[in-house]
Amino acid sequence: MADLQAILDSIYTDILPRVGEGKVADYIPELAKIDPRQFGMTIVTVDGKVYRVGDADIAFSIQSISKVFMLTLALGKVGESLWKRVGREPSGSAFNSIVQLEHESGIPRNPFINAGAIAVTDVVMAGHAPREAIGELLRFVRYLADDESITIDDKVARSETQTGYRNVALANFMRAYRNLDHPVEHVLGVYFHQCALSMNCEQLARAGLFLAARGSNPMTGHSVVSPKRARRINALMLTCGHYDGSGDFAYHVGLPGKSGVGGGIFAVAPGIASIAVWSPGLNKVGNSQLGAVALEMLAARTGWSVF
């Protein structure tokens, strides 16, 4: 294998002069306070080696990356019947768009846009009080990363609860189409807490390692999902993980990946490694600007593109 630490160091050298590019998410007041001049990256290989650079040990709000973990839980609960509630096609529209919902009977295009993720959260909540569903997700992520120190940032969750009008609209719309079983406030309470999971690059790369390793985490020995399910989750990340920037990310990076408005991107080199990168400045479609640049450099310097 290439000298991954040397590659990470070279990426860091190239990125450093640009650190601060992009615009932090300001529609969630608590995220608007984050200093954009930060960059960290971690690679965890399927043989258990960890490589890191920059601010890889600073915890950040993983936001929409949590949708991958919630999707994994929902598929574990209801299997393929999940797809009655949510589609599997790229949306070509913004992560918080409402336009397709009306034309498509309240069935969101995919599990990674906000509407789809809210429906997925509703599925995971079946038989649980909201607090228990949040607990289940937190336990799951801690188990995946083998790290009990992972927490949810209540301030971020509260900040979004106070300002998440669009998500309230999306959830009410789906409820009107009977595509939410639980009260809107309960589902959004869970959804805002899942988005407020606070993790550093290393914790995130470890938590997602099962997706790079045919469904099992080689560091913990835990079998999480079948190889087929891991492949399918990766397919969804590749086609839908960056919203209306998914085609561009596939074109430039060529790896399944999921972004969040906290500035994190989780990516998978199947059979090789999981990668987490964080830099809070976002591009126009709400994905980490330098995170995507760094992943493009990584894919070019390692040859890890799936294409």
Residue 51 vs 95, nearer CB to ligand DON:
95
Q: How far apart are CA 47 and CA 213, in angstroms?
A: 9
51 is in an annotated binding site: no
Residue 46 vs 171, nearer CB to ligand DON:
171
Is 64 one of the annotated active-site residues of the chain? Answer: yes
Element (H, E) at 306: none
Minimum distance, C-beta of residue 203 to ligand DON, in the bound complex (Å): 17
Q: What SS3 class is residue 44? A: strand
A 10 A CB-CB count for 300 gives 15
Catalytic: which of 261, 268, 277, 293?
Answer: 261
Q: Is 246 exposed, middle or buried (0-12, 13-18, 19+ CB in 10 A)?
A: buried
Catalytic: which of 46, 51, 64, 293?
Answer: 64
Q: Which residues would be at the binding site for ligand DON (CB under 6 A)?
A: 63-64, 95-96, 114, 160, 167, 195, 259-261, 286-287
243 is in an annotated binding site: yes
Residue with the shortest CB distance to ligand DON: 64
Catalytic: which of 67, 184, 216, 246?
Answer: 67
Residue 11 vs 171, nearer CB to ligand DON:
171
Q: How far apart are CA 86 and CA 231, in angstroms?
A: 18
Is 243 one of the annotated active-site residues of the chain? Answer: yes
Is 27 one of the annotated active-site residues of the chain? Answer: no
Residue 167 vs 289, nearer CB to ligand DON:
167
Minimum distance, C-beta of residue 6 to ligand DON, in the bound complex (Å): 30
Token digits of residue 189 = 């309470």
191 is in an annotated binding site: yes
257 pairs with which residues across the strands? 267
Minimum distance, C-beta of residue 1 to ligand DON, in the bound complex (Å): 31
Is 253 one of the annotated active-site residues of the chain? Answer: no
Residue 121 vs 179, nearer CB to ligand DON:
121
Q: What SS3 class is residue 151? A: strand
Minimum distance, C-beta of residue 46 to ligand DON, in the bound complex (Å): 27
Minimum distance, C-beta of residue 9 to ligand DON, in the bound complex (Å): 28
Task: Give the angle subtended at the CA of 210 by the CAs of 252 and 73, to the nearest 5°.
Answer: 100
Is 261 one of the annotated active-site residues of the chain? Answer: yes
Catalytic: which of 187, 190, 191, 258?
Answer: 191
Q: What are the residue numbers of the active site?
A: 64, 67, 191, 243, 261
Binding residues for substrate: 64, 114, 160, 167, 191, 243, 261
Q: Residues comprising the binding site?
A: 64, 114, 160, 167, 191, 243, 261
